[in-house]
Amino acid sequence: MRDVAVIGVGMTKWGELWEKSLRTNFVETALLAIEDAGVDRIDSMIVGCMSSGLFTGQEHLASLLADYLGKTPVPAARVESACASGGLALRQGFIEVASGMSDIVLVGGIEKMTDVNGHEATFALGTAADQEYEGYHGLTFPALYAMMAVAHMHQHGTTREQLAMVAVKNHANGSKNPLAQYPFKISVDDVLCSVLVADPLRILDCSPITDGAAAVILCPADMARSMKKPAVRIIGTGQATDTIALSSRKDPSWMESTHVAAGKALEMAGLAVKDINLFEVHDCFTIAEIMITEALGIAEKGRGGRAVEEGLTAVDGKSPVNPSGGLKAKGHPVGATGVAQAVEVVKQLRGEAAERQVKNARRGLTQNMGGTGGSSVVHIFEAD
Amino acid sequence: MRDVAVIGVGMTKWGELWEKSLRTNFVETALLAIEDAGVDRIDSMIVGCMSSGLFTGQEHLASLLADYLGKTPVPAARVESACASGGLALRQGFIEVASGMSDIVLVGGIEKMTDVNGHEATFALGTAADQEYEGYHGLTFPALYAMMAVAHMHQHGTTREQLAMVAVKNHANGSKNPLAQYPFKISVDDVLCSVLVADPLRILDCSPITDGAAAVILCPADMARSMKKPAVRIIGTGQATDTIALSSRKDPSWMESTHVAAGKALEMAGLAVKDINLFEVHDCFTIAEIMITEALGIAEKGRGGRAVEEGLTAVDGKSPVNPSGGLKAKGHPVGATGVAQAVEVVKQLRGEAAERQVKNARRGLTQNMGGTGGSSVVHIFEAD
């Protein structure tokens, strides 16, 4: 396999983008990545998107976007793994460059979620769960993660306040990210007094509904060294599945697919988790970040709540998690999230993260997840 | 890149399968392929499906299927390119094995289309067109292909009877395929007297709505030689996009994406179209097969109608097209079609096609297409 590097990144402001269609938002974002890379062509496109069918009535998505980007007849593939669609797109792009099939590959992620009403959005997101055994019985994702939170609190003594601290940390980071949907700080009290969604989770424990896109350009590492910006190599990739229904898991408070995917990525990179300087992880709900912290090995099993309380995962802590603001503050356009994580890590490793820059960042890890952890994708990046 | 071979194939009976759910149909089919290959593990899964979201309210599809196949935590990816989703899955699986990332990869295709009503199915299929410029104005796929047929008849003198002959040929072939949805013969008169759908296309010019699945197992060619069944190598792959909206094309009677994809696949294989012994192509409508025949170079531009009339594409002709019965008679569960084409070619190259066996078949080609040709995927297979 050839070594692969990221040579360009692009991201536009996230939020309720009623003035931009699916296609215009993607094209604008992809052009930023192409400009950043300084390339005059792309050989292939991979697009991550969870459900353009249910959110916008549009499938055949990659061809549409290749067309509107003016890049036909390049090969274009859409990939889907629910909220891990963006991470999966990055992995498929990595494999395509590593294989020698294509040299310069555009990896994009997009979701346009606010053109439907709340009921429709909840249904569309619910299709990431097992429809026959979960969805049909009325389970939604806040309800599923609430059960995971209760299990974690029961087994490990995780506190309601520790959950809130995840949101507080990520909003503090996100307040320094001009592209974030909600770039403002909140307090623990704000979280604890916010509207109850599914006990114990409140609205400020939940990532929002977002329109957004992100893109990166990949090429072989050898070629990357002659490009405009400093190259960032992808030195590890791991992907894993788990049972799609939460009720089938041995332990609903443990994120096995993330643990397996991270193990593979670290093994490929020849590194341990202590060698990583920053993490962008899938905090779709506050409890998720706590469980991921444990599954990645940043904290011991059951100690994810304490990790955030003790500042281990703060930007100036030992293992900074979500310097971008995470899904909580940056927003969560589901198919775009995994690609945006890569955008943030690349900016950090290039030293371009401005006010939210992690000091001496040389290696970063992204963890993107579908459903309640039915799929996870992990990548490890290193400054070249 | 490593050489890649198909070592197992599986397909179950297609039709209106109200007794089988999406997941049970996939698992049954995948197990046939695993049994045919004689492998005791798979390292990764790629699943092609156009719109499980709109047809069944289920996304996160690859994880669901990995779970129900009992294969977690293997990596599992779903890919989508409308009706070319199956062909795209094969290509992504090929790249994954060629890269060295995985050895034994299960490539599956599935669509469950009959759990919704006719209006909903027409809407779901219509999402393969440009929703903003085609769908919203009421265009459906029969209407789009009818315009292509009119253009072809106007420019090249293709006759109404020649269109019918495509359906007659494919039903004659399909009558020998026990897994086909409609395994019976029809006559030119049957086609000409069938219900008008979108002038000049009648119901017997159109492929049906189908539930179905297909699967193949890939591995490196070196490893394939020690397997249970004779290996069939994939010696060429090509993928291309075109404008998604028909109105943006220079010539609506010419299938450019197929022409480009086939050119790439043939170049990779070091072959010319005359070296291919049989073809499985995307006859979603009779006019499509005529246009594809031309785009592949089986017939000269404008002579696709004559090719079928003169028997060039019959099973005992110079260039047999759709010995399986094609989409017309076999059925068209959109995401499964591209994988089923590979199943047929592998069976033909192994000499396992029974009554529909093409004589002296050594090399075969599959052509799978999305929308009105907004994407095409071509593969070339050779008996090892």
Listed in sequence order, the residues at least 6 apart from A117 whose beta carbon sits closer than 8 Å to its beta carbon are none
Largest interatomic CA distance in chain B: 56
User: Is the CB of A375 less than 8 angstroms away from the CB of B88?
Assistant: no
User: Is the CB of B59 less than 8 angstroms away from the CB of A76?
Assistant: no
User: Is the CB of B51 less than 8 angstroms away from the CB of A59?
Assistant: yes
User: Is the CB of B81 less than 8 angstroms away from the CB of A62?
Assistant: yes
Query: Which among B21, B63, B79 has CB closest to A375?
Result: B63
Task: State the smallest CA–CA distance between residue B48 and chain A in angstroms.
Answer: 9
Residue A59 confidence (pLDDT):
98
Q: Which residues of chain A lie closer than 8 angstroms to B123, CB-CB?
A: 57
Task: State the smallest CA–CA distance between residue B318 and chain A in angstroms.
Answer: 30
Phi, psi angles (nearest 5°) of residue B122: -65, -40
User: Is the CB of A1 less than 8 angstroms away from the CB of B371?
Assistant: no
Average pLDDT over residues B224-230: 94
Torsion sign, CA atoms A345, A350, A352, A354 = positive
Active-site positions of B read 83, 332
Which stretches of chain A score pLDDT less than 50?
none
CA distance A332 to A336: 8
User: Is the CB of A248 less than 8 angstroms away from the CB of B57?
Assistant: no
Q: Which residues of chain A lie closer than 8 angstroms to B256, CB-CB?
A: 73
Query: Among residues B198, B181, B131, which one has the least CA distance to residue B374?
Result: B131
Calculate the average pLDDT of chain B.
97
ipTM: 0.97
Helix (H, G, I), strand (E, B) or coil at B247: helix
Torsion sign, CA atoms A17, A22, A24, A25 = positive
Q: How many CB pairs under 8 A join A and B?
A: 209
Task: State the smallest CA–CA distance between residue B325 and chain A in angstroms.
Answer: 25
Query: Which among B21, B51, B375 has CB closest to A53?
Result: B51
User: Is the CB of A53 less than 8 angstroms away from the CB of B82?
Assistant: no
Return residues 251-310 of B near A (CB < 8 Å): 256-257, 260
Instruction: With 0.80 as the threshold, say if the pTM is over it.
Output: yes
Q: Which residues of chain A lie closer than 8 angstroms to B98, CB-CB?
A: 99-101
Residue B73 confidence (pLDDT):
98
Instruction: Give B384's pLDDT tier (boundaries 50, 70, 90).
Output: confident
Q: Which residues of chain A lie closer than 8 angstroms to B129, CB-CB?
A: 60
Instruction: Give B229's pLDDT tier (boundaries 50, 70, 90).
Output: very high
Would an 8 Å CB–CB cutoff place A135 in contact with chain B? Answer: yes
Torsion sign, CA atoms B307, B282, B238, B123 = positive
Tens digit of each residue's pLDDT (9 = 90 or more) over B9-25: 999 999 999 999 999 99
Residue B85 confidence (pLDDT):
98
Residue A118 neighbours by CB distance under 10 Å: 9
Between the alpha carbon of residue A272 and those of residues A102, A236, A249, A275, A349, the distances in Å are 31, 12, 27, 6, 18
Choose from B25, B64, B68 for mutation: most chain A CBs within 10 A: B64
Q: By CA distance, what is A80's nearest residue in B?
A: B78
Q: Which helix (H) or strand (E) holds A23?
A: helix A22-37
Instruction: Give B141's pLDDT tier (boundaries 50, 70, 90).
Output: very high
Task: State the smallest CA–CA distance between residue A185 and chain B in angstroms.
Answer: 33
Tens digit of each residue's pLDDT (9 = 90 or more) over B360-378: 999 999 999 999 999 999 9
Tens digit of each residue's pLDDT (9 = 90 or more) over A298-356: 999 999 999 999 999 999 999 999 999 999 999 999 999 999 999 999 999 999 999 99
User: Is the CB of A63 less than 8 angstroms away from the CB of B370?
Assistant: yes
User: Is the CB of A60 less than 8 angstroms away from the CB of B124?
Assistant: no
Q: Per-residue pLDDT for B338 more than 90? A: yes
Min mean pLDDT across A131-140, A154-163, B87-96, B251-260 is at A131-140
Q: Which residues of chain A lie closer than 8 angstroms to B132, CB-CB?
A: 21, 23
Query: Which among B63, B71, B127 has CB closest to A57?
Result: B127
Query: Which among A63, A80, A88 has CB closest to B374?
Result: A63
User: Is the CB of A101 less than 8 angstroms away from the CB of B1?
Assistant: yes
Q: Per-residue pLDDT for B315 more than 90? A: yes
DSSP letter (8 states) at residue A75: -
> Which token pair is B163?
């269109």
Helix (H, G, I), strand (E, B) or coil at B377: strand
Q: Compute the half-sphere exposure of residue B121: CA atoms within 13 Å on the CB side of its CA.
A: 15
Between the alpha carbon of residue B317 and those of residues A40, B139, B307, B352, the distances in Å are 46, 36, 10, 19
Task: State the smallest CA–CA distance between residue B109 and chain A in angstroms.
Answer: 14
Average pLDDT over residues B307-326: 98
Residue A90 confidence (pLDDT):
98
Query: Which among A54, A95, A130 has CB closest to B64?
Result: A130
User: Is the CB of B72 less than 8 angstroms away from the CB of A241?
Assistant: yes
Q: Which residues of chain A lie closer than 8 angstroms to B57, CB-CB?
A: 123, 127, 131, 135
Active-site positions of A read 83, 332
Residue B41 confidence (pLDDT):
97
User: Is the CB of A241 less than 8 angstroms away from the CB of B78?
Assistant: no
Q: Which residues of chain B lie closer than 8 angstroms to A239, CB-CB?
A: 75, 77
Largest interatomic CA distance in chain A: 56
Choose from B43, B61, B63 for mutation: most chain A CBs within 10 A: B63
Residue B144 neighbours by CB distance under 10 Å: 23
* Angle in degrees, 0-180, between the axes of helices B85-99 and A85-99, rounded to the nearest 10: 60
Query: Which among B60, B73, B74 has CB closest to A82?
Result: B60
Q: Per-residue pLDDT for B92 more than 90? A: yes
Choose from B46, B80, B132 for mutation: most chain A CBs within 10 A: B80
Return residues 91-130 of B near A (CB < 8 Å): 91-92, 95-96, 98-101, 123-124, 127-130
